[in-house]
Homo-oligomer: A and B are copies of this chain.
Amino acid sequence: MHTDLSLAPIGVFDSGVGGLTVAREIMRQLPNEKIVYFGDTARVPYGSKSKNTIIRYSKQIIRFLKTKGVKAIVVACNTASAIALEEIRPEMDIPIIGVVKPGAKVAAQKTVNKRIGVIGTEAMINSGIYTEFINRRDKDITVITKACPLFVPLVEEGWLKDSVTYEVATRYLSELKDKDIDTLVLGCTHYPLLRNTVGEIMGDGVSLVNPAYETAVSLKKLLEENNIAAGNEHRYASNMYEFYVSDTAEKFKRFANSILPFHIESIGLINIEEY
């Protein structure tokens, strides 16, 4: 069965630019799907904010995305996925998934020695959420976490293959290298852009888990299960992807154009407090 809803776009949101790595994976793995992306650039970062604030922000963004007729929502923000998703889901009439659960699930499946490392922002690591989700799947897994606060600004500076980034990463990861992990979760949406550096430092014995990739896999399954996956109706559409932000779009545009396989000209500016 093929419903009208299948033609509707996927809503993807993040506190800023990081979620574009998730949007990029969806574009790759689900090339028939339209996407409406919202980056909350006026209120980034979420990591330092309270649970109530993050829930309120997430609800406002979902109300905005619904005005765009989305058929499903991807919370492409680790903090919002961890802190707001379970509170919001009961109120939703369309499917919603986050980035934490798919990453945690695959990490728990991949580990052989039951020792998993997780890297992320300070707020993400302090939340303990990956540990919780991994241990929900298997309580015998030991999770070793490490905050890497300089990775986001290094990525946003564009220093992806760089001696400074390599030195910072070596320093951050040295603790994890001593802990005999066989699996490492890239627990921040910016980090897939550093996966070569991280992979090189951790070595072949450690599998990297990219939650952006796993989220796109989960989304595909979710759309199929709900019978709302797009066919190739949009294949020649010129407006497959729409981008919105809550404040000045210049930095967003520059970052988006550096990581997406096409050039974005137009980005909508939204007063998200009105939603």
Contacts and interface: CB of A to CB of B under 8 A. Distances in A.
Chain A interface size, as a band, is: 20 to 34
Most B C-beta atoms less than 10 A away, residue of A44, A48, A153, A168: A48
**Residues of A contacting B: mostly:** helix
Number of copies of this chain in the oligomer?
A: 2
Interface string A229-249: 000000000000000000110
Nearest to A147: B157
A94 interface: no
Given A42-B53, A43-B43, A48 B247 contact: yes
Contacts of A149: 153, 156-157
A228 B210 CA distance: 59
A248 B164 contact: no
A44 B248 CA distance: 15
A53 B149 CA distance: 27
A251 interface: yes
A88 to B, nearest CB: 20
Given A152-B153, A153-B153, 13 more contacts: A41-B48, A42-B48, A42-B50, A42-B53, A44-B48, A49-B247, A50-B248, A53-B247, A149-B153, A150-B150, A150-B157, A164-B164, A167-B167
